[in-house]
Amino acid sequence: MPLFDDDEPKRAPLGEIYVGQSLVSMSVDELRDRIAALEAEIKRHKTELDNKSSASSAAESLFK
């Protein structure tokens, strides 16, 4: 947990996003904001996946 609020990445105030959510009532700007938030979340997931893969590879190399 960060010591200061400035250390935590800013998140778009989009409310809850879930797969399959209706997009019909959203404006163009809301859709763009949603896409940007989802892309940032995908990047965060990929970074964590890379970190875990690296840690797993390092652990495996210790036990060879």
Amino acid identity of 42? I
> CA-CA distance, 25 to 1, in Å (whole number)?
36
Domain layout of the chain by residue ranges:
25-50
Q: What is the 3-state secondary structure (H, E, C) of 3-60?
A: CCHHHCCCCCCCCCCCCCCCCCCCCHHHHHHHHHHHHHHHHHHHHHHHHHHHHHHHHH
Owner of token pair 């964590």: 48
pTM: 0.61
pLDDT in tens, 14-55: 578 888 999 999 999 999 999 999 999 999 999 999 999 887
